Chain A
Amino acid sequence: MARGGYAGKILRVDLTARELKDEVLSPQVLRQFVGGTGIGARVLYDEVPAGVEPYDPQNRLIFATGPLNGTLVPGSGTFAVVTRSPLSGFASAGHANGFFGARLKHAGYDAVVVHGCSPDWVYLYLNDGRAELRDAAWLVGKDSWETEMALREQHGQKGMDIGLSVACIGPAGENRVRFAAICSDRGHVASSGGPGAVMGSKRLKAIVAEGSRGIPVHERDLARLKGLIKGWIDSASSSPFGRAVSKGGTAGFFSAAENMGWLPVRNLTANLFPDHPSFDGASLRSTFKTKPRACHACTFAHCLLMQVTTGPYKGLVVEEPEYEGLAAWGSNVGIVDAGTALMLNDLNDRLGMDLKEATFCASLAMECYARGILNPDDTDGLDLSWGNAGAVEELLRRIARREGLGGLLAEGVMRSSQRIGNGAQELAVYAKKGFAPHVHDPRGRWSILFGQAVSNMGSIEGSSLELSAAPDLGFPEPIPFFSKEMVPKAQARTGPKRQFEDTLGICMFLCQGSLQGMVDTLNAVTGYDLDKARALEVGERIINLLRLFNVRHGLTPDDDSLSPRLREAIPEGAHRGRSIDSVFEEMRRAYYAEMGWDPETGRPLPQTLQRLGLEG
Chain B
Amino acid sequence: MKVAVRLYAQLMDYLPHDTMGHPFELTLEEGTTIGDLLARLGIPQEAASSSILLVNGEHGRPSQGLKEGDGISILPPICGGKL
Direct contact of A and B (CB under 8 A): yes
In this complex, the interface size class of chain A, counting residues with CB under 8 Å from chain B, is 35 or more
Bound Cα distance from A575 to B12, whole angstroms: 24
Q: Return B21 CB to nearest CB of chain A, in Å.
A: 3
Asked if A318 is at the interface of the complex by the 8 Å CB criterion, the answer is no
Beyond A259-B73, A277-B20, A282-B20, whether A241 also contacts B8 by CB under 8 A is no
Q: Return A427 CB to nearest CB of chain B, in Å.
A: 24
Contact with B along A64-82 (1 / 0, CB 8 A): 0000000000000000000
Question: Which residues on the B side are within 8 Å of A260 (C-beta)?
Answer: 54, 57, 73
Bound Cα distance from A247 to B10, whole angstroms: 7
Bound Cα distance from A462 to B73, whole angstroms: 25
Contact A252 B9 (CB under 8 A): yes
Contact B57 A243 (CB under 8 A): no
Contact B81 A481 (CB under 8 A): no
Question: Which residues on the A side are within 8 Å of B9 (C-beta)?
Answer: 244, 247-248, 252-253, 256, 281-282
Asked if A240 is at the interface of the complex by the 8 Å CB criterion, the answer is yes
Beyond A241-B76, A277-B20, A280-B20, whether A253 also contacts B82 by CB under 8 A is no
Asked if A331 is at the interface of the complex by the 8 Å CB criterion, the answer is no
Q: Return A477 CB to nearest CB of chain B, in Å.
A: 7
Question: Which residues on the A side are within 8 Å of B79 (C-beta)?
Answer: 239, 241, 463, 468, 508-509, 512
Beyond A480-B59, A481-B58, whether A252 also contacts B21 by CB under 8 A is no
Contact A240 B76 (CB under 8 A): yes
Question: Which residues on the B side are within 8 Å of A280 (C-beta)?
Answer: 20-21
Contact B81 A459 (CB under 8 A): yes
Contact B8 A252 (CB under 8 A): yes
Bound Cα distance from A252 to B10, whole angstroms: 8
Interface residues of B in 3-18 (CB under 8 A from A): 6, 8-10, 12
Asked if A540 is at the interface of the complex by the 8 Å CB criterion, the answer is no
Bound Cα distance from A574 to B73, whole angstroms: 13
Interface residues of A in 232-248 (CB under 8 A from B): 239-241, 243-244, 247-248
Contact B78 A467 (CB under 8 A): yes
Q: Which residue of B lies closest to A491 (CB)?
A: B81
Q: Return B74 CB to nearest CB of chain A, in Å.
A: 10
Q: Return B82 CB to nearest CB of chain A, in Å.
A: 5
Contact A256 B73 (CB under 8 A): yes
Bound Cα distance from A597 to B79, whole angstroms: 27
Interface residues of B in 35-77 (CB under 8 A from A): 47, 50-52, 54, 57-59, 73, 75-77
Beyond A256-B8, A281-B9, A574-B57, whether A241 also contacts B78 by CB under 8 A is yes
Contact A255 B47 (CB under 8 A): no
Question: Which residues on the A side are within 8 Å of B75 (C-beta)?
Answer: 253, 256, 467
Beyond A258-B21, A280-B20, whether A509 also contacts B80 by CB under 8 A is yes
Contact A255 B21 (CB under 8 A): yes
Bound Cα distance from A11 to B21, whole angstroms: 50
Q: Which residue of A lies closest to B18 (CB)?
A: A277
Beyond A248-B9, A478-B52, whether A259 also contacts B21 by CB under 8 A is yes
Q: Return B27 CB to nearest CB of chain A, in Å.
A: 21
Bound Cα distance from A243 to B10, whole angstroms: 8
Beyond A323-B83, A574-B57, whether A467 also contacts B77 by CB under 8 A is yes
Bound Cα distance from A282 to B76, whole angstroms: 14
Contact of B78 among A253, A277, A498 (CB under 8 A): A253
Q: Return B55 CB to nearest CB of chain A, in Å.
A: 12
Contact of A469 among B10, B21, B77 (CB under 8 A): B77
Contact of B51 among A240, A248, A463, A508 (CB under 8 A): A240
Asked if A464 is at the interface of the complex by the 8 Å CB criterion, the answer is yes
Contact B73 A478 (CB under 8 A): no
Q: Return B56 CB to nearest CB of chain A, in Å.
A: 9
Asked if A185 is at the interface of the complex by the 8 Å CB criterion, the answer is no
Contact A498 B57 (CB under 8 A): no
Asked if A460 is at the interface of the complex by the 8 Å CB criterion, the answer is yes
Q: Return B59 CB to nearest CB of chain A, in Å.
A: 6
Per CB-CB distance, the 10 closest pairs between chain A and chain B, nearest first, are A255-B21, A468-B77, A460-B81, A244-B9, A277-B21, A240-B76, A467-B78, A244-B76, A256-B8, A252-B9
- Given contacts A244-B76, A323-B83, 8 further A-B pairs with CB under 8 A are A253-B83, A260-B54, A438-B81, A447-B81, A448-B81, A468-B78, A481-B58, A509-B79
Interface positions of A (Cβ within 8 A of B): 239-241, 243-244, 247-248, 250, 252-253, 255-256, 258-260, 276-277, 280-283, 322-324, 438, 447-448, 451, 459-464, 467-469, 477-478, 480-481, 494, 498, 508-509, 512, 574-575
Interface positions of B (Cβ within 8 A of A): 6, 8-10, 12, 20-22, 47, 50-52, 54, 57-59, 73, 75-83
- Of the A-B pairs whose beta carbons lie under 8 Å apart in the complex, a sample of 16, sorted by A's number, is A244-B10, A247-B9, A248-B9, A252-B10, A253-B75, A253-B83, A255-B21, A259-B21, A463-B80, A464-B81, A467-B77, A468-B78, A478-B77, A481-B57, A498-B81, A512-B79
